[in-house]
Amino acid sequence: MILSIESSCDDSAIAITEIETKKLLFHKKISQELEHSIYGGVVPELAARLHAEALPKILEQVEPYFEQLKAVAVTSTPGLAVTLVEGVTMAKAISIALNIPLIAVNHLVGHIYSLFIEKEAEFPLTVLLVSGGHTQVMQVKSLHNIETVAKSMDDSFGESFDKVAKMMNLGYPGGPIIEQMAKDGDRTRYNFTIPLSQSPLIAFSYSGLKNAVRVALESAGEDDYKDIAASFEHIATMHIVQKLKKYFKTTSPKTFAIVGGASANLYLRDEIKKLLKPHNAKLLLSEFKYCSDNAAMIGRVALEMYEKKMFTPLEKLSTSAKSS
Ligand code: KG4
Ligand code: ZN
């Protein structure tokens, strides 16, 4: 069995995955959404302190598995440096105490493998990763062959939902709140501009749209919020659709996947389904419970890495906030 730990942002999670069957034997996550909600976003120092409380609590529950552990896996990058270190320190301690190898997992690769929990992986894939930290399109041929073909130049898709919700004083995380609010709104009422629509670049940008929402809010009342939310969600989604359309002109997708916390967004899912139709492409989605950060996806990557003996010596494992 492999024990896996995730603490890259505001979710403390631990999973136990069986090596031979890929079965998830245990998975628990303690989210800090409530604690960060009053601040309208994640406060790194608070997040680190909460991980230091939550991770040992979950670890206690997996003690019965300790004797059967063959490796310990942990998210090592990208993420918040002060929160990553909480998971990494725990993983190192377990590695030393149980004398088992350490597996350092990239969080973004984890999101890709969230598609394959308790399943065989299928490649090649074109992947759209939409989370709080990233908006990326990747060509994924295997665990080792991942090429990023587009990314955000500033804010990410999920982050823009968080910031819009913060501007409306609606709490954190903004994604589910704005999505819910947008359901009753008029998507056409606010004529926000699709970012980078005149640019030939296959890239994303959300800071301009966020500012357009800020300006709209200045002269809006609370009755207008649902229309602003709906118009914002529409343009934020159309931006992705437009760039993917352009990309598909040269690289038609056969199998397309949407992963990351914001892949739970139903409007985005529906619009991408429409986009894929003329390409006859298959769409892969993670189960809702595995869209946002979790340790099951880290454990799933670790299975592949364990098989290939991709272990990291303790002294080589440091955390880095840099994305890769
Ligand atoms: O993957 P994730 O849990 O953490 C990161 O790796 O960043 O993603 C969290 C992000 C947050 O920004 C959250 O607002 C966004 O995903 N999100 C959504 C939805 N659910 C979560 N964004 C849009 N629509 C949603 N339904
Ligand atoms: Zn994530």
Say yes or no: 54 and 112 in one domain.
yes
The model's pLDDT over 74-133, given as tens digits with 9 standing for 90+, comes to 999 999 999 999 999 999 999 999 999 999 999 999 999 999 999 999 999 999 999 999
Say yes or no: 112 and 223 in one domain.
no
* pLDDT at res. 319: 63
| Residue 255 falls inside a structural domain | yes
Say yes or no: 185 and 251 in one domain.
yes
- Distance between Cα 309 and ligand 1 center (Å): 32
For the chain, the domain total comes to 2
Say yes or no: 139 and 107 in one domain.
no
- Planar angle of CA 183, 269, 136, nearest 5 degrees: 120
| Residue 322 falls inside a structural domain | no
Q: Does the annotation list 41 as a binding residue?
A: no
Say yes or no: 219 and 246 in one domain.
yes
Q: Does the annotation list 174 as a binding residue?
A: no
Of 135, 137, 110, 97, the closest CA to residue 314 belongs to: 97
Ion ligand 2: protein residues whose beta carbon lies under 5 Å: 131, 293
Say yes or no: 271 and 244 in one domain.
yes
Tell me the pTM.
0.96
- Cα separation, 152 vs 257, whole angstroms: 18
CB neighbour list of residue 86: distance below 8 Å, 6 or more residues apart: 7, 12, 48, 51, 52, 55
Q: How many CB atoms lie within 10 A of CB 199?
A: 11
Domain encompassing residue 30: 2-117+291-316
Say yes or no: 274 and 134 in one domain.
yes
Say yes or no: 267 and 217 in one domain.
yes
CATH number where 72 lies: 3.30.420.40
Residue 251 has pLDDT above 70, yes or no: yes
The model's pLDDT over 262-275, given as tens digits with 9 standing for 90+, comes to 999 999 999 999 99
- Cα separation, 277 vs 271, whole angstroms: 10
**CB of 262 sitting under 6 A from ligand 1:** yes
* pLDDT at res. 128: 98
* Dihedral (CA of 19, 78, 50, 154) sign: negative
**CB of 152 sitting under 6 A from ligand 1:** no
Which tokens sit at 285?
A: 């989605």
